[in-house]
Amino acid sequence: MKNVRALAYLVLFISIIAYRNGHLYKNIILKKRELPVGYYYAGDFTKDCTSFQLEGLKNCEDAAFWDVHDSEKTLIDRHLILSCDPGRKAWNTVMGPLHNPEPHGALWLYTANDIPTRITFTNYPKDHDFHPLGFDIWPSYDRNESNLYVTNHARESTVIEQFVLDPSNPTVARHIRTISSPLFLSPNSIALTSPNSFYVSNDHLMTRRLPIVGHVLPVIESLLSLPLGFVLHVTLPFPVEPNVIIHPSVLFTPFANGVALSPDGTTVAIASSSMAQVRFYARNPATNQLTHRTHTIDVPFAADNVRFTDDGTLLVTGHPHFPSLINLAANKSEHSPSWAAAIPPLNIKVEIASDFDGDAPTSMNGLVAGVPGMKTVFQSDGQGFSSASTSLRDDRTGTFYVTGLYADKGFLVCRPPA
């Protein structure tokens, strides 16, 4: 009788997981979809997209625009900053392994039609590792210095580094401090709310750093989409003091990955990688409180990072076949597919579209329930560009950027034809 009861409970548990995660398993784990070598929504991938391959410029997880304004708040320069880590396959506290924390990663600066330049650090602590993941930078006004915060998966623990960049010397970053907290269990993505405050996602509760079980429990947490990830809001005193104010913003998010703040400051988007979705939350700009979830949008890939464009469109990028990504990380394959989608600004009431994403070689329509205007902006089977993790679009020029978590080519730049 006890065996029958135990079996019944097991069948019930499996049924619940299958019902809850069916979309994930069907689209991302069990089936590898046919994708083109490269698809770029605004042009011809083979003609309009260029990748960069320089020494040390590989495995670029995140990217963000650094906007420089004059005294009238007119935008005069828009730089692209990237966080890259050549040693990611030997040191990765999210996916593993944790074999060798050398070599260190770096930040890179790119300006349109230029060659990417590695950013050098001053005042950086001696013998302190640097393995960057997510980051964000505050705009410069009247060419003042900008604060930059980056997640650092260092040897002993994951921390957040604060730097300052000066527009007059943009390839040098001055280190200000290392921010640590017992609540930083698995910091991943950062979205600034002021020069001295930000949201930070924590993707797992059980991490690779755990002794003995660290290589098992995080995988279980991911595959079962356990709601153990969370997002914190961090406020730093000014001037620099040791006290840090931390408040929980969103709890119980499966694999909370990318986080982004809308241009008008009223919405926060959070990517749930293991649920293959993006969750939108209403934000009170005066208090930074996320009051309630307004929308949940499914995508046919494991959502990695999210970035808003100037007009409020959300670009979400990720991995349409998770086993390929795991094999790439373990050096068992040479590439992993990529997919990026654009979600238009959402009104209070969003209707599900019966027909959408009609131009993509492999459409999201039929795979997920989309909304009007939702479309694929980039696809690749991995040969054109591998393991895409972040996409950005400069709405002034239409230039489109893609980074790759394990991409040897560094990053991709696509320019619409004249």
pLDDT in tens, 45-73: 999 999 988 989 999 999 999 999 998 88
Question: Residue 130 is encoded by which pair of tokens?
Answer: 């640097």
Peptide bond before residue 97 is cis, with ω within 30 degrees of 0: yes
Block mean pLDDT (10 aa), the chain, length 418: 51 50 77 95 97 92 97 93 96 88 94 91 95 98 96 95 97 96 96 97 92 88 93 87 88 97 97 97 97 96 98 98 93 94 90 94 96 97 97 97 95 94
Q: For the chain, which domains are there?
A: 45-310+396-414 (2.120.10.30)
Question: Residue 126 is encoded by which pair of tokens?
Answer: 């001696």
Strands 146-153 and 158-166: antiparallel
> Would you state the pLDDT for residue 241?
65
Among 387, 413, 409, smallest CA distance to 400 is for 413
> Would you state the pLDDT for residue 5?
56
Q: Tokens 């924390």 belong to which residue? A: 101
Distance, C-alpha 268 to centroid of its chain: 14
The answer to whether 146 touches 139, Cβ cutoff 8 Å, is yes
Strands 169-179 and 120-122: parallel
Q: What whole-number distance in Å separates Cα of residue 38 and Cα of residue 378? A: 7
Q: How far apart are the first and last CA of the chain?
A: 73
Q: What whole-number distance in Å separates Cα of residue 375 and Cα of residue 366? A: 13
- CA separation, residue 162 to residues 184, 192, 198, 303 (Å): 15, 12, 12, 26
Q: What whole-number distance in Å separates Cα of residue 387 and Cα of residue 307? A: 17
- CA separation, residue 193 to residues 234, 235, 260, 380 (Å): 9, 9, 10, 33
pTM comes to 0.94
